[in-house]
Copies of this chain bind each other. A is one copy, B any other.
Amino acid sequence: MRPYEKDPSAIYAQSFATVRAEANLDRFPNGLDRLATRVIHACGMVEIADRLAFSEDAYTVGHHALAAGKPILCDCEMVGAGIIRRYLPAENEVIVTLNDPSTPDRATAMRNTRSAAAVELWEPHIAGAVVAIGNAPTALFHLLDLIDQGFPKPAVILGFPVGFVGAAESKAELAANPRGCEFVALRGRKGGSALAAAAVNALAAGLPEDRS
């Protein structure tokens, strides 16, 4: 078998160098290039750089929210599992309510998905927090509906729901009207938990060279 790179630092450095060489990051201001780099690294697709929508201060505001100790609200366990805890600046709480015992009954009563029902349980935590959606379009749609009805607003919404039903539409709605929140969203069908978690990790820690 051919030799392969085994040094973690060299792997990171080569990876991020490839992103910088192949992706067009010039249009990302205020630290968002770091977020884009980590998201691209998480999926191996430089082409998504051209499909990331964002508000100008999403990185700065998200970074400060974490530094201030605000929690991170995730739509599924995989996003929570991908958040690198040692990066978090204030031992921030990572909250996933999808498997709360009340969620199935709430979903039935709402005539919506469990993912949407779980968002309602974010109410005591969401003001000024970081939201990371990596799976369910219905979670993002319902969050936007709730905000329209007066739900407290998060500082930043990281919109990476994935798939063929509602993913593109929910992210387009977020980008068209972020309801006064900062946001990053990957337009189209692509997305996923790894991308949402990578976006959180970027808000927390930038890139490895920021930390050396």
The answer to the question of A129 belonging to the interface, with a C-beta cut-off of 8 Å to chain B, is no
What is the CB-to-nearest-CB distance from A143 to chain B, in angstroms, rounded to a whole number?
Answer: 11
A53 at the interface (CB under 8 A from B): no
Q: From residue A178, how far is it (CB to closest CB) to chain B in Å?
A: 13
Q: Interface with B: A2-10, A25-33, A62-70, which one?
A: A2-10
Check: A191 CB closer than 8 A to any chain B CB: yes
Across-interface contacts of A138 in B (CB, < 8 A): 4-6, 11
Shortest Cβ distance from residue A24 to the other chain B in the assembled complex, whole angstroms: 16
User: What residues of chain B lie closer than 8 Å to A141, measured between beta carbons?
Assistant: 1, 4
A165 within 8 A of B: yes
CA distance A19 to B189 in the complex (A): 12
Whether A190 lies near B44 (C-beta < 8 A) is: yes
**Are A190 and B45 in contact (CB-based, < 8 A)?**
yes
Interface residues of A in 113-165 (CB under 8 A from B): 113-114, 116, 137-138, 141, 144-145, 148, 162-165
Q: Is the CB of B165 within 8 A of A5?
A: yes
Q: In the complex the two chains form, what is the Cα distance from A163 to B4 in whole Å? A: 14
Task: Report the interface size class on chain A.
Answer: 35 or more
Q: Which of A8, A42, A111, A165 has the most CB of B within 10 A?
A: A165
Query: A193 is contacted by which of B145, B188, B193 (Cβ under 8 Å)?
Result: B193
Contact B190 A192 (CB under 8 A): no
Mask of A171-194 contacts with B, CB within 8 angstroms, 1/0: 001000000000000001111111
- Chain B residues whose CB sits within 8 angstroms of the CB of A167 once the complex forms: 44
In the bound complex, residues from chain B placing their C-beta under 8 Å from that of A97 are: none
Q: Smallest CB–CB gap between A91 and chain B, Å?
A: 17
Q: How far is the CA of A144 from the CA of B4 in the complex (A)?
A: 12
- Chain A residues with CB under 8 Å of chain B are 1-2, 4-8, 11, 14-15, 18-19, 41-45, 77-78, 80-82, 111-114, 116, 137-138, 141, 144-145, 148, 162-167, 169-170, 173, 188-194, 197
